[in-house]
Amino acid sequence: MASGCAGAVGVGFTAVPFVSSFQPSERARAAGAAVEVDIGALKPGEKLTVEWRGKPVWIIKRTPEQLAALPKLDGQLADPKSLRNPADLTPEYARNEHRSIKPEILVAVGICSHLGCSPSDKFQPGAQPSLPDDWAGGFLCPCHGSTFDMAGRVFKNKPAPDNLEVPPHMYLSDTRLLIGEDKKA
């Protein structure tokens, strides 16, 4: 009887660390955690980049001119209403012209949907190398030339098949943004 009890205790001491090794590590839990960002100091035309789940997430405060240009581009875009792969790329609250909760703030994952490069900022309108003469501002992927407008929507006839991803997010206040959760959205 004593040997059986000692054996059971030994099995328990051995099993607990083994079973707990199946739990995700602290680092793995942190990698999927939501990220809180203060956007109070962000000025119109500026971009802030944060990391969420190992990806760059852009937070851009668009100018009134950038917002006014968005509807004029619909005919040149591959998916202007963000209807392609909506469950994976665009939460329901961002399936609008601005692809955002608040029109002036864009929150998007800064990874091209073609091969995973990070597009460059090309916010300045007008003719520029590798861009059309009537460029309204947006992003240019340096790898294969995909272009995106200021809402992260991809232009037609480009290698990128989809718009930039809009991650789940919500506002905790006017100046606090939570990326990775959208329970209140």
Is there a contact between 116 and 185 (Cβ–Cβ < 8 Å)? no
pTM of this prediction? 0.79
pLDDT band at 28 (very low <50, low <70, confident <90, very high): very low
What confidence score (pLDDT) does residue 70 get?
93
142 in helix, strand or coil?
Answer: coil
What would the pLDDT profile of 29-82 be if each residue is shown by its tens digit?
445 689 999 999 999 999 999 999 999 999 999 999 999 999 999 999 999 988
- What are the extents of the domains in the chain? 33-179
Say which DSSP state 169 is in.
E
Asked if the model's pLDDT at residue 181 lies above 60, the reply is yes
> Are 57 and 51 spatial neighbours (Cβ–Cβ below 8 Å)?
yes
Is 3.40.50.720 the CATH classification of the domain at 33-179?
no
Tokens of 183: 């329970």
For residue 108, give both structure tokens: 């998007």
State yes or no: pLDDT of 152 exceeds 60.
yes
Check if the beta carbon of residue 82 is closer than 8 Å to that of residue 100: no
